[in-house]
Amino acid sequence: MGLERSIAERVAAMRGQDIDSSLLHILKRNILDSYAGICGSLNDRAMLEHFDRFAADAESATVSVWGIGRRAGLAEAVFTNSVLGRRSDLLNTYLAPNSMGGSHPSDNLALVLTLADHLGMSGRELISTVHVAFTLSAAFATYYDPESAGYDHDAAATFYTALTIGYAFDLSVPELVTAQRVAGMLGLDTNQAALGKMTDWKHCTYASAAMRAIQAVKIARAGFDAPPDIYEGAAGVDRFFRHADTFFEPAPDLERIVFKRWPALVFCQTPIDVASDLAAAGIDPHAVTAIEVRSYAIAMRNGATEGAYQPESRAARTHSIPYCVATALLKPIEYTDFDDPRSRDDTVRALMTKVSVIEDPALSAAYPATAPCEISVMFADGSTVTRRRDVPRGDPGDPLSDDDLSAKLRTYFGFARDDAEREDVIRRLWHLEHEPDVEWLLEPLRRRQLP
């Protein structure tokens, strides 16, 4: 049996599958955390202005575009809303235990909520679809390493978003097979978004894959054929991406998901935590002569690129270890610290010039079991202060509690009508499986945040 058929059958078998209480709790924690990230993104007025112009050209207005009080076609709404799933950079991260790849399962909540708006899902149906999406995103991250071949890690999202959408639309196994084939033929994201000058398209890579996946599912439902063996064929994806020997063996462990405290790249989380620990001890930025950040190889490749030392966009700043460390040494990190006004602060700029990020082979060897970082701050009087952490707060080794996750949503759900609505949404999310619909979850997102 080919891989595309095997995956399709596994997805189809998840329909009606019992979700035990332990897994249910894990999924609700992830849904609440992911919703907080979407809420954080709705603070971004500049991005919403792009949405306003984009939705104005939509030909078939059937689904809500969040934050602008307008509707668009399903594909357009999937794109814009999925951008909001990532824009805040508060989204969670799954890092494969075999060091193959990584994914952001949180991305999928925006997609699934948009499908819920279109299809009218219940709370239990939403949970079931999220389960499929999160499981697939982790499985593909464990099987494929697109980045080593020059592709974005979201190249794999091309396939698991098509499968998730197909699951929601109740596609048959043959249709799920075709949806994967068509998705692959519609194109894979290259890693140019993460190289050189990083623009805010970095926050759109998953969204573009999901938008194409809508078309793949529509084409599959219409009965079109597509080239077989999209993974294992002579010009299939396996030829281009480094991959594991088996798919879905063992099944992904969703308890490995890392939750973020800070609106930044996952590889910036430990550096921010360490810099925050140093700041708590008291740092005079004018007395600092040098800041040495010791990290591991994959963190260097993602957060200490040449462009990371002169980031020019919000996405570039959230993916810059030097910027994150300099900012966290000065003050507690906030969402607005990655916006243009704060990035022009003279003290932040001056401190960034003193940051050097160095790969430590011992720290590289410790990954992925840990995600360590050590920072030494040198002062004009010749003294040095050093702090280290092995995992960020939010890692399974130092997890966020349920109360922490509820507090995270309170922080970013500032556009709630009042405290009562905010607390009601939090309460209902923790009991989502009992909700007959999710209109109460969608309604706040639909409100126009622009003048």
pLDDT values of the chain reduced to their tens digit, one per residue, 451 residues: 799 999 999 999 999 899 999 999 999 999 999 999 999 999 999 999 999 998 877 667 889 999 999 999 999 999 999 999 999 999 999 999 998 999 999 999 999 999 999 999 999 999 999 999 999 999 999 999 999 999 999 999 999 999 999 999 999 999 999 999 999 999 999 999 888 888 999 999 999 999 999 999 999 999 999 999 999 999 999 999 999 999 998 789 999 999 999 999 999 999 999 999 999 988 899 999 999 999 999 999 999 998 999 999 999 999 999 999 999 999 999 999 999 888 889 999 999 999 999 999 999 999 999 999 999 999 999 999 999 999 999 999 999 999 999 999 999 999 999 999 999 999 999 999 999 999 999 999 999 999 8
What is the pLDDT, as a whole number, of residue 9?
Answer: 97
Going by C-alpha positions, the residue among 88, 103, 404, 116 that lies closest to residue 254 is 103
Domain-wise residue ranges, the chain: 3-256, 266-389
Domain 266-389 superfamily per CATH: 2-methylcitrate dehydratase PrpD (3.30.1330.120)
Strand order in the sheet with 355-359: 355-359, 288-295, 373-379, 384-389
Q: What residues contact 245, with CB distance under 8 A and at least 6 apart? A: none
Nearest to residue 180, comparing CAs of 247, 254, 93?
247
3-state secondary structure at position 195: coil
CB 254 within 8 A of CB 133: no
Say which residues have a Cβ less than 8 Å from residue 199's Cβ, sequence separation at least 6: 193, 313, 315, 316
- Residue 35 has a CB neighbour count (10 Å cut-off) of 26
CATH of 3-256, one of 1.20.1250.20, 1.10.4100.10, 2.30.30.170, 3.40.50.300: 1.10.4100.10
- Report the phi/psi class of residue 277: left, alpha or beta, with left for phi > 0 and alpha for psi in -120 to 50: alpha
What local confidence, expressed as pLDDT, does residue 59 receive? 63
Beta strands in 101-215 (DSSP E): 102-103, 144-145
Helix H or strand E segment including 6: helix 3-13
**107 with 95: CB under 8 angstroms?**
no
Q: Which residues lie below 8 Å from residue 137, measured CB to CB, with a gap of 6+?
A: 94, 103, 104, 105, 107, 108, 156, 157, 160
Single-letter residue type at 99: S
- Joined together, the tokens standing for residue 310 give 């002169």
pLDDT value for 444: 98
Distance CA 181, CA 168 (A): 18
For residue 245, the number of C-alpha atoms closer than 13 Å in the C-beta half-sphere is 1
Instruction: Report which DSSP code applies to 14.
Output: T
CA-to-CA dists, residue 71 to 24, 47, 65, 110, angstroms:
32, 16, 5, 15
Report the C-alpha gap between 177 and 213 in whole angstroms: 13
Tell me the chain's radius of gyration from C-alpha atoms.
22
Q: What is the rounded (10 degree) CA torsion for 218, 222, 226, 230?
A: 40
Query: 38 with 109: CB under 8 angstroms?
Result: yes
Q: Model's pTM, two decimal places?
A: 0.95
C-alpha span between 323 and 339 (Å, rounded): 12
Distance, in Å, from the CA atom of 420 to the CA atom of 260, rounded to the nearest integer, reads: 26
State how far the Cα of 377 lies from the Cα of 293, in Å rounded to an integer: 9
Residue type, 308: A
pLDDT given at position 58: 64
Give the end-to-end CA distance of the chain in Å, rounded to a whole number.
Answer: 55
Pairing outcome for strands 373-379 and 384-389: antiparallel
| Closest to 257 (Cα-Cα) out of 241, 273, 243, 269 | 269
